[in-house]
Amino acid sequence: MTIGFLGGSITDPRPGYNWPEPVIGWFVNRFPGVRLSVENAAIGATGSALAVFRAQWDIIDRHCDLVSSRLKMVLGVTPLAASV
């Protein structure tokens, strides 16, 4: 199973700084026999406009089975959050 994460700094790939870590940990503990692969397509200080252009290359082409996105308007006032 391949899990893809698409987002800005909240999905920062540095250990201990991101929310994908506990999600991955939950999958590993809940489904110990499943081979798990992770695509973390995080780029800090980016919002949904760039994610639209990156989705094909960073997530779709990598055949993710499950995708979670956490995006916001970087310069806007209203945050946008979506989980798929």
Q: Kindly report, residue by residue over 2-58, the tens digit of the pLDDT.
A: 999 887 766 666 677 677 888 889 999 999 999 999 988 877 777 777 777 888 988
Flag whether pLDDT at 62 surpasses 90.
yes
State in Å, rounded, how far the first CA of the chain is from the last one.
15
pTM: 0.71
Contacts of 31 (CB under 8 A, 6+ apart): 1
Query: Where in the chain are the domains?
Result: 2-83
The verdict on domain 2-83 having CATH code 3.40.50.1110 is: yes
Flag whether pLDDT at 84 surpasses 70.
no
pLDDT at 77: 47
